[in-house]
Amino acid sequence: MRESFQSFSLFGPSGHRKYLNPAERKRFIDAANGAPPETRLFCLTLGWSGARISEALALTPAAIDVECGVCLRTLKQRKRGVFRQVPLPPHLLEQLDSYFDLSSARRNPELAGERIWRWSRTTAWRHVKALMASAGVVGTAAMPKGLRHSFGVNAVQSKVPLPIIQRWLGHSKIETTAIYLDVMGPEERALAARMWNR
């Protein structure tokens, strides 16, 4: 029981965070904005969608709605063919459309189903790690999974309802999504500050 709980925790056995805090997330996004286009767009897609690295690598032009967001095939659930839609910021969708010419590719049956990023998992992981290093993010948070956890934390702290976060992350159980409630948010820090000022 203890091991399974630990795998669903946002903290490692020694208490280190597995997610990027808001300052680290901002630095990562800033670093991504200075990266070459293909790397930039991949890393921003990971950061803004909460996708697992393999789910982002599986994206095709047909899976990106340039008006709304991405349709990710959920790879962790036991059932095959489970998809979820996740909204993306308009500026990111515009950049994806412009760089990969998605609108044209979606109309071409040969290109619509081709992967956008043809990298291996190892190459994608290396791109993310390099940006983490340039953003000064270190430790257990400095990996693609850290971006996914950061997405969940950011969503909770932005008051997105838990069932919607569950759907966006592709969790089969709400208990898995509920781990993001364990992170100290701005309200909790404000309450502590009131206590300190008494």
pLDDT in tens, 168-188: 999 989 999 999 988 877 667
pTM (global) more than 0.85: yes
Nearest Cα to Cα of residue 52 among 166, 142, 170: 170
Predicted pLDDT of residue 187: 63
The answer to whether residue 59 scores a pLDDT higher than 50 is yes
The answer to whether residue 6 scores a pLDDT higher than 50 is no
List the domain boundaries for the chain.
Answer: 17-196
Overall average pLDDT of the 115-144 stretch: 96
Q: Are 183 and 156 in contact (CB under 8 A)?
A: yes
Predicted pLDDT of residue 5: 39
The CATH topology of domain 17-196 is: hpI Integrase; Chain A (1.10.443)
Predicted pLDDT of residue 82: 84
Predicted pLDDT of residue 81: 75
93: Cβ contacts below 8 Å, ≥ 6 apart: 64, 66, 67, 68, 69
